[in-house]
Amino acid sequence: MNWEPVIGIEVHVELETASKMFCGCAVDFEAEPNTNVCPVCLGLPGALPVPNRKAIEWITKIGLAFNCSISERSQFHRKNYFYSDQPKNYQISQFDVPVCHDGWLDVTVAGATSRIRINRAHMEEDTGKSIHVGDSGRIHSATETLLNFNRAGVPLVEIVSEADIRSAAQARAYAQDLRTVVTALGVSDAKLEEGSIRFDANVSIRPVGTEPFGTKVEVKNMNSFRSLERAVDYEIRRQEGVLESGGIVHQETRHWDEGEGVTHSMRSKEGSSDYRYFPEPDLLPIEVTDEWRDEIAATLPEMPAARALRYVALGADGDSASSLAGSEALATLFESAVEAGAPGNVVANWLTGEVTAWSRRESLDVAESALTGKHLRDLAAMVAANSLSSTAAKEVLGYVLAGEGGPAEVATAHDLVQISDSGALEEAVDEVIADNAEQFARLAGGEDKLIGFFVGLVMRVTGGKADPRAVTEILRSRIS
Amino acid sequence: MPIDIDIAHVAKLARIELSEQDMASYRAQLGVILDHAAKVQALPTEGVQPTSHPLDMVNAFRDDVVTPSLDRDEVLSQAPDATDGFFRVPPSLDNE
Amino acid sequence: MTELSQLTLVEAAAALRTGECTSVALTESVLDRASLTEASVHAYLTIDRQGAMAAAEASDRRIAAEKPIGPLDGLPIALKDNMMTKGIETTASSKILSGYIPPYDGTVVKLLREAGAVFVGKTNLDEFAMGSSTENSAYGPTRNPWNLDTVPGGSSGGSAAAVAAGSALAGLGSDTGGSIRQPAALCGLVGMKPTYGLVSRYGLIAFASSLDQIGPLTRSVQDAAILYEAIAGHDPHDATSFPGPAPSGTERLGAGVEGLRVGVVNELSGEGIDDEVLVAFRTTIDRLANAGAEVVDLSLPSTATALSAYYLIAPAECSANLARFDGVRYGLRVDGSTVDEMMSLTRAEGFGSEVIRRILLGTYALSAGYYDAFYGQAQRVRTLIIQEFATAYEQVDVLVSPTAPAPAFELGAKTQDPLSMYMQDICTIPSNLSGHPAMSVPVGLSASGLPIGFQVMAPALGETVMFQVAAAIEALSDDIGRPVLEVVAS
C-alpha cells in the first residue's frame, strides 16, 4: 500500500526578555544554579504571578509575523501535572483562548510551495532543569535528580501547526523557516542546541487518497533540523512497517535517539485529558486592543519571505534571495552594495558563494569580516570594466574578507589587475602572430581550434593579466 | 444523581498515597458532598458566562525589569535535601 | 484604667499619645495575658516575644520623639499563620510546613510593619484555612474564650480567640468562605472581609485564589475600619489587586443610618438559622428601622445554591494551589524510592484529612468529563449570584443577614460530618463568590452567654457605607463586654 504521512509540528520558543514571565528574576542561562529564583518562580507559599508586558507584546509580534489573528481577549489557564522541576506542579499556560490563532507560513521544498496553517501560538512558562545523576547519566539508571530552577518561569511561546505537513523534508523546511522568522523578530536567540527553540513532531500516516487521520505519535528530543528530518522520516517508516505487518500504531510519545537513529516509546505520564485545565484565578484576562496590536505591528521588521521577494526584484535568483533574506549579515551587505550601485545578481552570487564559504571555513560570522557593501560595489565595477577577471575577482574577495584592504588595493598588491588597455593588448597579439606566422596562416585558413593556442600564448606573454575575451576579439579582427 | 468516583485515579492525579480503607472512606464522603454540590446543576445557566474573577478587570502587567533574586543559601536552607547549589530528589521513573 | 490588654486599638493609640502607657507596656500586657490564657485557649502557634518587644521599643522611641508613624504604631497585633513573615515560622497549621521559615514578608505584613505595628505572633487556623472551627489544625484546636468547651469558629479562630482573650489588641484573618466573619461572630468581635482585590493576597498562602481576602478581627467597628485602611491598596505583586484607591473605612462612621435602605436577604435569614440567632437578628433590624433606616425584604434565590457552588470552586482551586507542597523545595519530605513515591507519601503524611478531602474533591471536579457539570457550572452559578446582587443593590444600600447559623458549638460536634460543618458558612459564602465586602458585628449573647453576630454586606467597593451601617449597629446594640475567662498561670 502507498502511505501518506500527516505531520504537525509544535514549537517552543524561549523569549529573550530581560526578566522572567511572571517575576523579576533575570533570564540568564549562564548563572550559577538556583541563583535566579524568587518566591514566585520557586513556587513558594503565598507568591503570586504578574505577567511581563513585553512577553505579551512579543508573542503578539510572533503571531502577526505568522499571519495570525490576535485574540481581543485571551486568558491564562493552569495545566495541572506533577513534575519535580515544575515548582507549582501546575504550569501557567493557555487553553481555549490563546493570544494568537489561525495563521500560516508558506514553505518551499524542491520548488513546490505549500501553505502550512498555524493553529495557534500561546503564552506559557518554562520549567526548571533536571539533571539525572547516575552511572551512565541516563535516566533509567539514575540514582538521583538535581534540580536547578533558574529556567523556571522563563517566557515560552508554543506555536502549533495544523497537520498540514506531508514529508520529513517539509517538516524540516517548516522548522527552519519558522526559526528564521523568529530570529528576524529579535525575540529569541532560538538556538536548537541550547534548547531555546524546541521542535516536537506529531506524526501519523494514512493510505494515499484517504481522508481520516491515522493514530498520531508525538516525537520529541530532536536538537537539530537534521535530526528533526531524520526522526520524522524514521517514524514514518516505523509506522509503515507496523501497519504493513498488520500491527496497530499506538497513540504515544516517542523519544528520538540521535545515536541509534531510532525513536523509543516513553512511559506515559498523565494523559492529556488529565491536565485539569481551569482558568488561572491569579491572573486577569489579557486584552489586546486594536490600538495596541497596531503599535506592536509597527515594530515588525520586514519578514524574510517578503525580503526575499524584494531581493529577486533587485536581481538575485530565488535560492540566493532566500539565503540572503535569512541572514542579517548577508542581507545588510547585499542591500548596501546594491544601494551603492552594484548589480544584484553578481553580488548575490558572491555573498551566497565565496562569502558564505569563507564564513564556514573560518568559523567566523560575515558581520565580523572587513567586507563592506562599497567593497562589493567596487569589485563589481572592476569586473565590469574588464580590469579583473571573474576568477581574479573571487580571489580578491578572499583578501578583502581577510582584511587586507579594498579591492583595488588588494588586486594591485597581488598583481591581479587585467590589461584592459587595448593598445597594449594589440601590441602583444601582433607580436605573438609575428612569432607564429605558420600557425596563424592555418588559423586564418579556417583551422579555428588554433584560436585557443593563440589566446594561451598572449596570456603567457602578458603574465595572465589579459582579458581572454578581448584577446579573442583582436585575433578575430586580424584574421578578417 | 449517583456519582461514580474513581478514587484511586483521583488520588494518583493528586499524588496522595492512600490505603484501601482511606480510599473507601473518602469515596463515600466525596459522594455525599458532590451529591449536595450537584445542586448547581439545577439552575438554568444557558447562555450565562462563567465568572472566574469577581471584578471585571483586564491587563495587569509588570514592566520587563530585573529585580533581585533570593539568596541561594537562604532558599536551600529550607530544602529537605540539597547539594552543590541544587535541590536533590530521588530518581524519576519517567524516561524524559 | 482598663487592663491594657483589653483596650481597643483606638483607645490604646490614644493612651500611647498621651503617655498614659508605652508600647512596651501594651506589648508586655498582651504577652502576659497570653502566658495566662494560652494553655487553655491555644490561640497561637508561635509567639515572637523577642521580635514583639524589639518592635515595641522602636515604637516607643518614635512616640517619645513625637514621630509616630500612624494610628497603628506600637499596637500589638496577631497574624494568622497563613501569612508570610520573613524569618518567623509559618505553617498554615499544617504538618507539611512544619518548621518552614519564609524568606519574605507578605505585602500586608510589610504594610503593617511599616506602619509600626507590633506582631505578637502567628495564630492557629484550620489547616490551610479549610474549616470553620479551628479544630483541623495539625497543632491542636483553639478554644473559644467565651466557653472553653466550644470552638472559636474558623478558619481564623486563632486570631479571633487571641483578640477575645486579650492576647492581642486586634488580629488579621483571611476569609475564603466566611473565615473572618464566622469566628468574629462566635467570639463576639467585629470581623471584616474587604472587596476582592482591595487587600493584596501576596504572601497569603492561597486556599481558593478567586475567593481569598485578608481582613481585620477587632473589638470595635472603628478599629476594623482603621486596620482595614492600613492594609488596603493597590499592590503590583498581586495581578488581581484593584488599581484604584481603596474606599475609606472611617469616613462615615457615626453618620447613622437615617435614610439608608437596608435589604434583608430572605434566603439567608430563615431556614437553617438557630432561633436565638434569628431573634437577635430581628431585634437589630427593628433597631435599624427605628433609627431611620428603610428596611426592605429581598429574595436572592441563587444564594441558596451558593454553598454548592463554593464546594466545587474552592476545592478545585485548592487542589492546584496545594500541589506545590510536594517535599521538593521546602517543608516536610517522606522518603521514597522514586520522586513520585516521595511526593505521594509526603502529601499523605503532611496533609490532614480535611485538606485531603478537599484536594480529592477539587481534583475530581476538574477532571475530564466532569468539568462542565461541576466546576464550569459552579462558575456560571457564580455569575448568577453576582447578577442577583447587582439587581438587589439597585434597590438597597446594604444587605443584611445573620453571620453564622448558630452560636459557638462544642468541640468535636461536627468533625465527623463535613457537610454540617460546611453549613456554618451558608450566610457568608455568597459575598466571597460575588467578591463583595461583608462584615460581622456582635449584636448580643445567647441564653448560654455565647456571642451572636450580624452580617452587613455591601456592593463592590461599598466599604464606606458598610462601615457606616456597622458602626450604627454597634452603637444601637448592647455591649456584650469581654469574655470572663478562668485562667491559670502556666
d(CA A37, CA A23): 9
d(CA C72, CA C227): 8
Q: Please say whether the dihedral angle defined by the alpha carbons of residues C386, C392, C397 and C400, taken in this order, is positive or negative.
A: negative
H or E segment to which residue A103 belongs: strand A100-109
- The minimum CA-CA distance between C423 and chain B, rounded to whole Å, is 11
pLDDT above 50 (res B96): no
Dump pLDDT digits (tens) for A56-94. Answer: 999 999 999 999 999 999 999 999 999 999 999 999 999
| pLDDT band at residue A271 under the 50/70/90 scheme | low
| pLDDT band at residue B1 under the 50/70/90 scheme | very low
What is the average pLDDT across A271-289?
91
pLDDT above 90: percentage of residues in chain C: 93
C241 backbone φψ class: left, alpha, beta (φ>0; ψ -120 to 50):
beta
As given in the structure block, the three cell numbers for residue B7 are 478514587
Of the candidates A78, A80, A282, the beta carbon closest to that of C240 is on A282
Mean pLDDT of chain C: 96
Dump pLDDT digits (tens) for A330-377. Answer: 999 999 999 999 999 999 999 999 999 998 898 888 888 889 999 999
| Higher pLDDT pick, A467 / A61 | A61
SS3 A303: coil
pLDDT above 80 (res A135): no
What's the pLDDT at B75? 97
Angle between helices A450-461 and A468-479 (to 10 degrees): 120
C132 carries an active-site annotation: no
Q: Is residue C129 part of a domain?
A: yes
What is the average pLDDT across C266-288?
95
Which of C201-214 are b and which e, b meaning 16 or more Cβ less than 10 Å from the residue's Cβ? bbbbbbbbbbbbbb
| pLDDT band at residue A389 under the 50/70/90 scheme | confident
Cβ contact, residue pair B87, C380, below 8 Å: no
C299 carries an active-site annotation: no
What is the average pLDDT across A213-219?
94
Longest dimension (CA), chain B: 58
pLDDT above 90: percentage of residues in chain A: 66
Cβ contact, residue pair C204, A278, below 8 Å: no
Longest dimension (CA), chain A: 102
pLDDT above 90 (res C330): yes
- The minimum CA-CA distance between A361 and chain B, rounded to whole Å, is 37
Q: How far is CA B67 from each of CA A10, B36, C85, C96, C109, rounded to the nearest angstrom?
A: 32, 47, 20, 30, 20
Q: Which of C132, C179, C241, C302 is catalytic?
A: C179
C431 carries an active-site annotation: no
B53 lies within 8 A of chain C by CB: yes
Backbone φ, ψ for residue A381 (5° rounding): -65, -40
What is the average pLDDT across A136-147?
75
The number of residues making up chain B comes to 96
| pLDDT band at residue A272 under the 50/70/90 scheme | low
As given in the structure block, the three cell numbers for residue C418 are 463535613
What's the pLDDT at B95? 42
d(CA A48, CA A52): 13
Instruction: Point out which residues pair with A90 in neighbouring strands.
Output: A80
Dump pLDDT digits (tens) for C408-456. Answer: 999 999 988 888 889 899 999 999 999 999 999 999 999 999 999 999 9
What's the pLDDT at A243? 95
**Set of chain B residues whose Cβ sits within 8 Å of the Cβ of C197:** 54-55, 57
d(CA A5, CA A237): 10
What's the pLDDT at A139? 57
- Residue-wise DSSP of A233-294: HHHHHHHHHHHHTT--PPPEEEEEETTTTEEEE----S-GGGS--EE-TTSPPEE--HHHHH
Q: Which of C29, C59, C155, C446 is catalytic?
A: C155
Task: Name the residue ranges covered by the structural domains of chain B.
Answer: 7-42
Strand order in the sheet with C76-80: C44-47, C118-123, C76-80, C170-175, C213-218, C190-193, C438-445, C451-457, C398-402, C261-265, C294-298
**Set of chain B residues whose Cβ sits within 8 Å of the Cβ of A24:** 62, 65-68
User: A162 near A119, Cβ under 8 Å?
Assistant: yes
User: C213 near C199, Cβ under 8 Å?
Assistant: yes
pLDDT above 70 (res A269): no
User: C403 near C455, Cβ under 8 Å?
Assistant: yes
Q: Number of CB pairs < 8 Å for B and C?
A: 183
| pLDDT band at residue C490 under the 50/70/90 scheme | very low
Task: Kindly report the CATH number that applies to the domain delimited by B7-42.
Answer: 1.10.20
The one-character DSSP state at C195 is P
Mean pLDDT of chain A: 91
* Overall domain count for chain C: 1
What CATH code is carried by the domain that includes residue C422?
3.90.1300.10
| pLDDT band at residue A137 under the 50/70/90 scheme | low
Q: Which of A386, A407, A380 is nearest to A395 (CA)?
A: A407
Dump pLDDT digits (tens) for C167-209. Answer: 999 999 999 999 999 999 999 999 999 999 999 999 999 999 9
- Cβ count near A313 (within 10 Å): 10
**In chain A, positions 408-427, which contact chain B (CB-CB < 8 Å)?**
none
What is the average pLDDT across B39-43?
88
H or E segment to which residue A157 belongs: strand A155-161
Helices (H), C143-241: 157-165, 181-187, 221-231
As given in the structure block, the three cell numbers for residue A12 are 517552543
d(CA C115, CA A316): 70
What's the pLDDT at B46? 86
Cβ contact, residue pair C308, B38, below 8 Å: yes
d(CA C221, CA A478): 118
d(CA C488, CA C373): 54
Cβ contact, residue pair C106, A50, below 8 Å: no
pLDDT above 70: percentage of residues in chain C: 99
Q: Number of CB pairs < 8 Å for A and B?
A: 136
d(CA A355, CA A330): 9
Dump pLDDT digits (tens) for A92-117. Answer: 999 999 999 999 999 989 888 899 99
d(CA A340, CA A348): 14
Which of A136-150, C33-47, C68-82, C432-446 has the weakest average pLDDT?
A136-150
Of the candidates C336, C338, C377, the beta carbon closest to that of B40 is on C377
Q: Where in chain A is the domain with CATH 1.10.10.410?
A: 422-479
- The minimum CA-CA distance between A292 and chain C, rounded to whole Å, is 20
Instruction: Find the Cα–Cα–Cα–Cα dihedral A205, A210, A215, A219, rounded to 10°.
Output: 30
Residues 6+ apart with CB under 8 A from C329: A42, A43, A44, A87, A149, B75, B78, B79, B87
Q: Is residue C68 part of a domain?
A: yes
B58 lies within 8 A of chain C by CB: no
Cβ contact, residue pair A45, C205, below 8 Å: yes
Domain of C405 in residue numbering reads as: 4-263+394-476
B73 lies within 8 A of chain A by CB: no
What's the pLDDT at B39? 87
User: C155 near C134, Cβ under 8 Å?
Assistant: yes
Q: Is residue C359 part of a domain?
A: no
- Residue-wise DSSP of C9-34: HHHHHHHHHHTSS-HHHHHHHHHHHH
The one-character DSSP state at C368 is T
H or E segment to which residue A332 belongs: helix A328-339
Task: Kindly report the CATH number that applies to the domain delimited by A422-479.
Answer: 1.10.10.410
pLDDT above 50 (res A398): yes
What's the pLDDT at C370? 86
A271 lies within 8 A of chain B by CB: no
H or E segment to which residue C217 belongs: strand C213-218
Of the candidates A53, A146, A266, the beta carbon closest to that of B95 is on A266
H or E segment to which residue A409 belongs: helix A407-413
d(CA C137, CA C129): 9
Residue type for position C306 = A
What is the average pLDDT across C90-95?
98
CA-nearest residue of chain B to C354? B26
Q: Which of C71, C101, C84 is nearest to C330 (CA)?
A: C101
pLDDT above 90 (res A473): no
Backbone φ, ψ for residue A26 (5° rounding): -70, 145
**Set of chain B residues whose Cβ sits within 8 Å of the Cβ of A61:** none
Of the candidates A50, A142, A144, the beta carbon closest to that of B62 is on A50
What's the pLDDT at A303? 85
Q: Is residue C102 part of a domain?
A: yes
pLDDT above 60 (res C488): no
ipTM score of complex: 0.96
As given in the structure block, the three cell numbers for residue A240 are 509503515
Dump pLDDT digits (tens) for A172-184. Answer: 999 999 999 999 8
